[in-house]
Amino acid sequence: MKNKQMRYASWSLSLLFALGAFVFFAGYYCYHLVYQEQFQLFMFSFDYLAQTTHKPGGFAEYISRFLVQYFYTPWLGGLIITLLLSIMQRQVLSISLKVADKPAYIPLTFIPSLFYWFLLCDEHYMVAGIVALVLVLAAVQMYNTIRPAVLRIVYVLLMIPLLYLLAGGTCIVFALLCVLLEILKKEIDTRKILFFVVGCILLMLCAPLVAKAILPQYPLSKLWVGVDYYRLQQLFPSTIWFLWILIVCIPLFFRLLPDVQKTKHSFIWIGIQIVLLVLLSGYGISLRADWQKEEVMAYDYLIRKQRWAEVVEMADKKAPSTPLSVAFLNLALCKQGLMADKMFHYYQNGSEGLLPTFIRDFAMPMMAGEIYYHTGFVNTAQRFAFEAMEGIPDFQKSGRAVKRLAETNIINGEYTVAVKYLRMLQQTVYYKRWATQALAVIQDENEIELIPEWAELRRYRTKTDFLFSEEEKDQMLGILLQQDYTNRIAYEYLMAYCLLTKDLSSFFNYYPLGKEIQYRQIPKSYQEALIYLWGLTNKDLSAIPYLIHPEVMQRVQEYGKIYATYQKSEPMLGTQFSDTYWFYLHFRK
């Protein structure tokens, strides 16, 4: 670089970029990274290493999975992504300055990293893509250190098949960059350049064909790509091709764009580019970031960690709107003993916001299984975990699912099966300690009873065989409750299901089943439903045979007057009574 000022400016911009990336991924978008971790199971074993690296691009896959396992800790995931994006930017800068020492165009080198930043806002884009690019760009940097032209050519021809093995189809970026750099160096004649280009093309074409002969089980289309850049295997996004071309073009821009000689003019030009990049960043993030999914993933993470109070705090700041996030909130309220009193203080959208219906997917069952597990449907939770893991598009195992399968088998007394899963978890970083403790515990039945969660689920889980029906969840909850009438969670979920489906006759019939729970007073939502039912056939509300709080009595009378007086009463009632069951009953579908 031409002077120290530009060098300091270069590093300052890189540090600012890294800070911005870390704040975004560790502070605002961290749950997308946690989401990535749960759909893999990185194990420190030779078998796992061989299984991952036996295909083209397998080394990049292995490194990326090693890194992704640390996404279990959100801020650490943000730090890893920041380092990868920053390393790629410095690599592109190093290669570009070798082509032309024009520091006025330093901001252009941030474009590929920004582009991958935008891609990572989609949870289906994999970290393996950026790991492969870092490997390939490192090989290009090594190429730039070799001075004799013949040695450079030999190096490139040897590295193409090696990089194909290590980084898959991304090696095309290496080939294109090296050909471009060699042409720009003008150190060898046209004929040798032509042979060089033909050699690179033949190697790029032959590598997947040779791989197909060795690995016939893989389709040729898969071997051309190698690395899993995108979780959905049937798709290869055109954005990846665009990114590769963009990386090759940046050094070319350095050569073609006019040089800015004066330092003062250089800084002005850099400032203009920075402003444009900031605007591009804002537009790209607004276009690609899915904040609704981030919210659901945040709820899922907190539920997974059983941080019930934080779930409620999150809902108090911003009411959840999707069925799954509402279902998570209701579970958190129930676990804290607040659902029967406060569930209608929040937006409710029917029974799907209580017990989600099974969907043939890999993400939804993983998340929804948490609700069934904590409500006592242990076998249903086990089925959801198994189906989710089997449905992962890139055919990986899931640390989260394997842990849940181990738990459900321990609760059901299937220790032989549980040991199989626990042995797998012992080969990981974050699940090893838990698995080792669980293996020690299952040696003694009495020890299991000392773990409150497992002991409670053993007591409340279904003891009889029955076919779980998605259309008859109230009956499933009823079966759960009949086994133990002190099961508060089953009772409150049954009552909530009746209220949310507006089945007040069933609510009235099931209500006496809660006498074993011994509430200090009738929960608020139950009071509101009971007084509404009483008012349908009785004019004297004071004669109701239940202990109704005076405030509830007063509010139902005020509500009734407004509802009966005004034809379009929803806006007026919403300001005062949106936290009541009556408002949900009349104005929510």
- 260, HSE (Cβ side, Cα atoms, 13 Å): 15
Q: CA 427 from chain center: how many Å?
A: 23
Rounded distance, CA 461 to CA 378, Å? 6
Q: Are 278 and 111 in contact (CB under 8 A)?
A: no
Q: Are 382 and 408 in contact (CB under 8 A)?
A: yes
Rounded distance, CA 257 to CA 500, Å? 65
- 89, HSE (Cβ side, Cα atoms, 13 Å): 28
Q: Are 61 and 144 in contact (CB under 8 A)?
A: no
pLDDT at res. 582: 94
What is the C-alpha end-to-end distance of the chain, expressed in Å?
A: 65
Percent of the chain past pLDDT 90, that is, above it, reads: 71
Q: Are 163 and 135 in contact (CB under 8 A)?
A: yes
Q: pLDDT of 1-31, one tens digit each?
A: 557 777 888 899 999 999 999 999 999 999 9
Kindly report the CA angle at 117 between 35 and 320, in degrees rounded to 5?
45
The closest of 437, 461, 268 to 379, measured between CA atoms, is 461
Rounded distance, CA 30 to CA 81, Å? 10
Rounded distance, CA 4 to CA 360, Å? 58
Other C-beta atoms lying within 10 Å of the C-beta of residue 552: 16
The closest of 467, 421, 293 to 364, measured between CA atoms, is 293
Cβ-based neighbours of 318, under 8 Å, separated by 6 or more: 295
Q: pLDDT of 559-582, one tens digit each?
A: 999 998 888 888 999 899 999 999
pLDDT at res. 2: 59
The closest of 184, 94, 90 to 141, measured between CA atoms, is 94
- The one-digit pLDDT tens for each residue of the chain (589 residues) are 557 777 888 899 999 999 999 999 999 999 999 999 999 999 999 999 999 998 999 999 999 999 999 999 999 999 999 999 999 999 999 999 999 888 889 999 999 999 999 999 999 999 999 999 999 999 999 999 999 989 999 999 999 999 999 999 999 999 999 999 999 888 888 888 898 899 999 999 899 999 888 888 888 878 888 778 888 877 778 899 999 999 999 999 999 988 876 666 678 888 899 999 999 999 999 999 999 999 999 999 999 999 999 999 999 999 898 889 999 999 999 999 999 999 999 999 888 889 998 888 888 999 999 999 999 999 999 999 999 999 999 889 999 999 999 999 999 999 999 999 999 999 999 999 999 999 999 988 888 888 999 999 999 988 777 677 777 888 889 889 988 899 999 999 999 999 999 999 999 999 999 888 888 899 999 999 999 999 988 888 888 999 999 999 999 999 999 998 888 888 999 899 999 999 999 998 7
Rounded distance, CA 495 to CA 478, Å? 10
pLDDT at res. 261: 66
Q: Which residues of 193-231 are buried (b: 16+ CB within 10 A; e: fewer)?
A: beebeebbeebbeebbeebbeeeeeeeeebbbbbbbbbb
Q: CA 397 from chain center: how many Å?
A: 15
What domains lie within the chain, and their CATH numbers?
A: 4-287 (no CATH), 292-460 (1.25.40), 520-589 (no CATH)
pLDDT at res. 568: 86
What is the model's pTM? 0.92
Per-residue DSSP letter, 121: T
Rounded distance, CA 43 to CA 54, Å? 16
Q: pLDDT of 47-70, one tens digit each?
A: 999 999 989 999 999 999 999 999
